[in-house]
Structure 1
Amino acid sequence: MFDGDRMNNMYSIKIEWSAAYECIISLYVYIHEKERKNLHLGTTWKEETTKLLPDSFAAELADERWEVLHRLVLLVAQSPRKASVADFLDWLEEIPPGEIYERLAPWVETIPLNLGEIRDHSLSLLTRWNEHYFSKVEPGILESLERSACEMKELAKKTSPVELIDQVTNGIWIEPMNDLQEVILIPQYHCAPTSVLDFYRGMTTCLYPVRDAGKRQPEPLLELLPITQCLADEKRLQILGRLAGSACTLGELQQHVSLAKSTVHHHVTALRRAGLIRAHYTGSTTVAYYSLRDSFVDRLPALLRSYLESEGRKE
């Protein structure tokens, strides 16, 4: 997958974990309705979560335009105090807006002038969100995320950065580039099975999904069902067949299956989330092209057998 020049420009990997990341991502998922329909949280999660919130706070979040997720992720990554959510929020409250600017400036091209106002608003939202919802999250979920981070640190010692990202995200392939120096990997639960990816100057953050977080045992159906659903669709099979020949852009796939671009995008998103294809990124959050992730051909029989055996043990 690599040529010599790209290998020479290989970026480094950093694996991070703090409950502050998950607190931020969980609030983001609650606020952004359109992001939830494909998540493992289920259709009743927001309704059940809303019951935990004061009515006034739920009403405030219903009309929220909170768009600083990625910048807050950058601040968590740089914070010297993040052993707990409360620890990070105390630090965030204490640092002056000028320091926030200095911490963001190397990575973010456009920084709002009202950083103090944004910090205070974000701090208020996160403090109340942590009090009413996040502090009540099942401890096993956070333990699973921390365990995943430890496992990834060990795996990073023997796996190339691009292959490690491909493995933990189920098909995101971040190409080595001259100006990309570091990718920060952060395990998360609330957005599973999707990944939250963002590119900055010289750095990328990737919050990768841990689909079995909080489960006593892995659930093969969570991985098996998206694969079988994709394979049951004729157009998605046509896309897989085209990618078996060579990598393609979205436009090339559109020409092959003769569908609207938005429909093809929906199909390739489903295929990527199921781990059947790779989405290749070359410096922005727009996918450059797609390729077949043919390891699923060998993975499918093992998944099916694991599922059948686990169901058989329930009898």
Structure 2
Amino acid sequence: MDVLHMTSRKRETYEVRIEASLLWECALGIAAITNTRLIDTLERPKESWDKIKKSLTDPLIQDLEYVEMNNTWKSLLLLLHQREFGTLQEFITYIDDLEEEEIKYHCLPYIGLKFQELRKLASKGDVAARNRLKEQTEDNPYYPGYIEFICTTNVQMFKKHLKSVMIRWFEEVILPEQETLSGILTRDRQSKKEMGEKLNPEALVEWATGGITYLPEPSVHTVLLIPQSIYRPWNVEGDVEGVKVFYYPVANESIYPDDKNMPSYFLVQKYKALGDEARLRMVKFLKGSERTLQEITNELNMGKSTVHHHLKILRSARLVETQDGKYRLKENAIQTLSNELNQYLTGI
């Protein structure tokens, strides 16, 4: 059925904020080294992680074992979102000053506006509310156990742990690379801010994250982009009240600023993907319409295995995505290509 549009009001979207800090890198480093299932997929080679582990003091190793057992890296990230912290000492003082209910409330995961009252009650010791939160998050591999831990932990011991692991990781891992890391994060934040003047919010998020399409949600008014190097090549997603967070991997050119000819990894992949007649035909066929594999095969008169191979290349370049068994073109990724190329060629 056709729809008559009787209003001129544009679809609302979110605003984008970009923040960079060594404190985020610190907390994410703690998360990464204790994520044994994911660590082998990170860009940093195993030898580098082994070298870090060997350099750590015994007290920090014990702290990290506690993090791995109770997922307290999540607490660090959630607390860092409560305000802007200029220094590590400001963050430590903030933790010290929190009351018991406050720290539990802030450290419990945000799972939606309609569950905020449960979150408040659980932070006050309400067992029924705690169990409801656990039920609502049972599809998450660690949330139920984490919620139980936050609600029942000794707060003074918990604070002591959070301060200890944050201080020790910062001193032992971040400080030796402080100047380099700070430069990388600052450069990347600046490049994203400059591109933000040329792109709409959704296109900026897609470009910064290397291809994540994030459409506006009714309860989300802000997207927070936070550059990180430790989790490359992964994006890490998070949610706080009214805010969607993407801790996104910094670009190659932010890491190698002296190499003025260093292109973005995804810029190279996109142009490689488009440098083929069959794939260009697919892009044109997908523009404006979702298509099944069979429809694409019929249109291009190719074998399914060949079509699937080409689609895999387009997907890895973040130009095409799948949803409900259909392929769709990421229009923002195509539209921003000229801006990306121009920024690379001119540095502006």
TM-score by length of 1: 0.68
- Once residues 5 and 123 of structure 1 are traced to their aligned partners in structure 2, the CA distance between those partners, rounded to angstroms, is 52
Residue 278 of structure 1 deviates from its aligned partner by 5.0
- Once residues 79 and 322 of structure 2 are traced to their aligned partners in structure 1, the CA distance between those partners, rounded to angstroms, is 27
Does the C-alpha gap of structure 1 residues 210 and 254 become closer, same or farther in structure 2, counting only changes over 3 Å? farther
Amino acid at match of 2:320: I
Query: Is the radius of gyration larger for structure 1 or structure 2?
Result: 2
> Residue by residue, what CA displacement relative to the aligned partner does 1:5-57 show, whole Å, maximum 9, x if unpaired?
99533122222222111101111111113323333322322111112202464
> Residue by residue, what CA displacement relative to the aligned partner does 1:255-276 show, whole Å, maximum 9, x if unpaired?
99999xxxx9xx97x9666433
Counterpart of 2:138 in structure 1 is none
Counterpart of 1:35 in structure 2 is 38
- Once residues 300 and 183 of structure 1 are traced to their aligned partners in structure 2, the CA distance between those partners, rounded to angstroms, is 21
Does the aligned pair in 1 maintain the 2:225–2:245 contact within 8 Å? yes
Does the C-alpha gap of structure 1 residues 142 and 86 become closer, same or farther in structure 2, counting only changes over 3 Å? same
- Once residues 61 and 179 of structure 1 are traced to their aligned partners in structure 2, the CA distance between those partners, rounded to angstroms, is 35
Where do residues 287-302 of structure 1 align in structure 2 (5 Å cutoff)? 291-292=329-330, 293-294=333-334
Does the C-alpha gap of structure 1 residues 35 and 228 become closer, same or farther in structure 2, counting only changes over 3 Å? farther
Does the aligned pair in 2 maintain the 1:170–1:272 contact within 8 Å? no
Does the C-alpha gap of structure 1 residues 114 and 227 become closer, same or farther in structure 2, counting only changes over 3 Å? farther
Counterpart of 1:93 in structure 2 is 96
Residue 190 of structure 1 deviates from its aligned partner by 0.8
Where do residues 167-246 of structure 1 align in structure 2 (5 Å cutoff)? 167-212=207-252, 213-217=254-258, 219-220=262-263, 222-223=265-266, 246=289
Residue 215 of structure 1 deviates from its aligned partner by 2.1
- Once residues 87 and 34 of structure 1 are traced to their aligned partners in structure 2, the CA distance between those partners, rounded to angstroms, is 32
Does the C-alpha gap of structure 1 residues 210 and 300 become closer, same or farther in structure 2, counting only changes over 3 Å? closer
Does the aligned pair in 2 maintain the 1:186–1:208 contact within 8 Å? yes
Where do residues 235-314 of structure 1 align in structure 2 (5 Å cutoff)? 246-247=289-290, 274-277=317-320, 291-292=329-330, 293-294=333-334
> Residue by residue, what CA displacement relative to the aligned partner does 1:260-304 show, whole Å, maximum 9, x if unpaired?
xxxx9xx97x96664333588xxxxxxx986444469889999xx
- Once residues 62 and 296 of structure 2 are traced to their aligned partners in structure 1, the CA distance between those partners, rounded to angstroms, is 46
TM-score by length of 2: 0.62
Does the C-alpha gap of structure 1 residues 277 and 43 become closer, same or farther in structure 2, counting only changes over 3 Å? farther
Does the aligned pair in 1 maintain the 2:206–2:212 contact within 8 Å? yes
* Structure 1 unmatched runs, 5+: 281-287, 307-315
- Once residues 242 and 77 of structure 2 are traced to their aligned partners in structure 1, the CA distance between those partners, rounded to angstroms, is 16
- Once residues 173 and 72 of structure 1 are traced to their aligned partners in structure 2, the CA distance between those partners, rounded to angstroms, is 27
Secondary structure at the counterpart of residue 29 of structure 2: helix
Counterpart of 1:46 in structure 2 is 49
Does the aligned pair in 1 maintain the 2:24–2:80 contact within 8 Å? yes
Residue 85 of structure 1 deviates from its aligned partner by 2.7
Amino acid at match of 2:189: A
Does the C-alpha gap of structure 1 residues 44 and 226 become closer, same or farther in structure 2, counting only changes over 3 Å? farther
- Once residues 180 and 247 of structure 1 are traced to their aligned partners in structure 2, the CA distance between those partners, rounded to angstroms, is 26
Say yes or no: does 1:75 pair with 2:73: no
Does the aligned pair in 1 maintain the 2:321–2:329 contact within 8 Å? yes
When the two chains are superposed, the root-mean-square deviation of aligned CA atoms in Å is 4.5
Secondary structure at the counterpart of residue 92 of structure 1: helix
Residue 193 of structure 1 deviates from its aligned partner by 2.0
Does the aligned pair in 2 maintain the 1:188–1:208 contact within 8 Å? yes
- Once residues 54 and 294 of structure 2 are traced to their aligned partners in structure 1, the CA distance between those partners, rounded to angstroms, is 44
How many residues in Structure 1 have an aligned counterpart in Structure 2?
282
Counterpart of 1:125 in structure 2 is 165
> Residue by residue, what CA displacement relative to the aligned partner does 1:70-110 show, whole Å, maximum 9, x if unpaired?
44323212224x21233323322332232234556794544
Amino acid at match of 2:203: E
Counterpart of 2:128 in structure 1 is none
Counterpart of 2:193 in structure 1 is 153
Say yes or no: does 1:113 pair with 2:151: yes
Does the C-alpha gap of structure 1 residues 300 and 133 become closer, same or farther in structure 2, counting only changes over 3 Å? closer
Does the aligned pair in 1 maintain the 2:232–2:249 contact within 8 Å? yes
Identity %: 23
